[in-house]
Amino acid sequence: MIPAIPPLAAVRIPRFREYCRIISRRWESGADPDPVSVFEELPELLSCDESIRWLLRTAEEIARQRGIPFRWEAIVGAHPLLKGIVEEIRSPAGPTAGRGTDLPEELFHRGHRAIRLLEDRDGGADHLGVDSRNSGLRLLRVCRDQWPEPSVGPEGGHPGIVPFLETGRGANGLGWSIVPLYGSLTLAGVLRALSRKKRRPLRAEFFNDCVRDALPAELGLLGFWQPQPILARCSFADGIVWFGAQVAASIDYLHQRGAAYGRLRPENVLLSFSGQPMLVGHGWRSSADPSSASARGDIVALGVLLRELLGVERPHKPGSAGFDSMLTPRLLRLLQLCELGEITAGELVDELPRSLSRGLRLQDWDEESDSFDECRMEESRSHSG
């Protein structure tokens, strides 16, 4: 029995009822029930989940009546973003299938669907998702041990801060947040990749490679990858200095506006498709000034994060990092000041570039950083929809 025409799809797609009659008659008269060719002929059917479900279920039913196998793999191969709907239809569990591990029900009532698990960690997980209302790609974040707080500070407005779209806590106790898809890798993923190496890499190109490897190639996202030119030509230590300066600038932006980040951890620093470190908004602590305990906590956390990336022990032992010649005395001193909370984010923005090794000229770095900020703002505008 052919499924009934979904009324919502009939409202959203002009001539949808006529399309349904033509398609069902064509298939019932002996044509191959191939949804892929229909999507190519009528791409507007991909704009609505209800029309996609109707087409797939109709094709499956006609194939079952004829006793021929239905090629689900061909559908996912041609349209990878339909994987969630395909798994939902094929699973005996019904409409709750294909939503991803530990994802709260509230996300799906709001029109969000998980496509692929990107990162699973002790405290939560990140999923690549799609907003079925406008087909926009999203990053769906789940927190198992805590839930996001409502933002009270200057969210967004800075190229190094990812704004929240939605946030909440599910009935199952899981916290969730939805942010635009600027990237699919966090510094937690970078640290895991580093832990698999015997020694720290010599070149910062390693970070560009990590960003590329984290993109699901089968979903056609490799086209989003834009290798960061600074990282492509500097040492590993200088690359981390660049990371530190970018994060410090984002923190300084918050501090200057009376807010502190408060949750600077590897899993909350996202690397964009072009390698820019971005703070994922997890709620701000208000009424912070650069000398407050909350603001100093951000600086201490940044020092710990940079030390983790460098693989430098505390206190530093010569030879422990494997590239002592790249660690300038100024950089080691800045790490110490960070962990003591005796330096502000604004001072770090000024001081970190002076700790670069001789292989990277400050003038070149400043010029590329300026041009990169312009590109990053353009990227932010293009992804806002």
> Which pLDDT does position 156 carry in this prediction?
46
> What sign does the dihedral 322-323-325-327 (CA atoms) show?
negative
> Which pLDDT does position 181 carry in this prediction?
84
| 370-378 long-range Cβ contacts below 8 angstroms, 24+ apart | 372/228, 372/229, 372/230, 372/274, 372/276, 373/159, 375/226, 375/274, 376/159, 376/272, 376/274, 376/276, 377/159
Evaluate whether 208 touches 232 at the Cβ level (below 8 Å): yes
> Which pLDDT does position 209 carry in this prediction?
92
Global pTM reads 0.65
Show me where the domains of the chain are located.
7-95, 105-180, 185-383
Please tell me the distance from the alpha carbon of residue 177 to that of residue 166, in angstroms, as a whole number. 6
Tens-digit pLDDT string for the chain (385 aa):
677 777 656 656 778 888 888 888 888 888 888 888 888 888 777 766 678 888 888 888 888 888 888 888 888 887 776 777 787 777 644 443 334 445 677 777 677 777 777 877 666 788 888 777 666 778 888 876 554 444 434 444 788 888 777 777 776 677 788 888 888 889 988 998 898 888 888 889 999 999 988 887 656 677 778 888 888 888 888 899 999 999 999 999 888 888 888 788 888 899 998 889 999 865 444 545 556 777 888 899 999 899 888 886 655 444 444 444 457 788 888 888 988 888 999 999 988 888 876 555 433 444 444 443 444 444 444 444 4
Please tell me the distance from the alpha carbon of residue 207 to that of residue 273, in angstroms, as a whole number. 11
Under CATH, which number does the domain 185-383 receive? Answer: 1.10.510.10
Nearest 5°: CA angle at 211, between 275 and 319?
A: 85
Look at the domain 105-180 and name its fold.
Phosphorylase Kinase; domain 1 (3.30.200)
> Which pLDDT does position 24 carry in this prediction?
85
Nearest Cα to Cα of residue 241 among 320, 324, 316, 328? 328
Q: Both tokens of residue 270?
A: 């996202």
